[in-house]
């Protein structure tokens, strides 16, 4: 099940590993992505801290860590082919994986219904 932030990131958690990406709403608003800068594996972030940056033909945007933890993997495919985020934002267009430090942070994120109320 996906959980969402007010800043339009999603996270899917399996055990203590969360996969993070941009929501379909965010990628639509940004337009065609042309550049993705991902965090380094081993980087640590607190919840809400800037984790990486994406750039589109319209604007640059920060992507925030939906939960605190350590980056354990990045999706090199989106660095090589940024349009993958536009084509499959909740699938192959994921950005990075993070080892979740505090499961309560995940519980505090929005479900799909709550997120749908702000993503308009």
User: Which tens digits make up the pLDDT trace of 56-101?
Assistant: 999 999 999 999 999 999 999 999 999 999 999 999 999 999 999 9
Is 116 among the domain residues?
A: no
Residue-number span of the structural domain to which 47 is assigned: 2-110
User: Which tens digits make up the pLDDT trace of 21-36?
Assistant: 999 999 999 999 999 9
Please name which of 93, 36, 101 lies closest in space to residue 72, comparing C-alpha atoms.
101
CATH code of the domain in which 32 resides: 2.40.50.100
CB 44 within 8 A of CB 32: no
Give how many domains the chain has, as a whole number. 1
Is 120 among the domain residues?
A: no
Is 117 among the domain residues?
A: no
């Amino acid at each position: 099940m996906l959980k969402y932030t007010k800043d339009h990131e999603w996270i899917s958690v399996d055990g203590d590993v969360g996969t993070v990406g941009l929501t379909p709403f965010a990628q639509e608003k940004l337009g065609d992505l042309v550049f993705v800068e991902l965090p380094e594996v081993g980087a640590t972030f607190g919840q809400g801290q800037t984790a990486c940056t994406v750039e589109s033909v319209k604007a640059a945007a920060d992507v925030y860590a939906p939960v605190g933890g350590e980056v354990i993997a990045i999706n090199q495919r989106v660095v090589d082919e940024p349009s993958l985020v536009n084509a499959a934002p909740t699938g192959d267009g994921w950005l990075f994986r993070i080892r979740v430090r505090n499961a309560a942070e995940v519980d505090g994120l929005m479900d799909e219904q709550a997120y749908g109320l702000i993503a308009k």
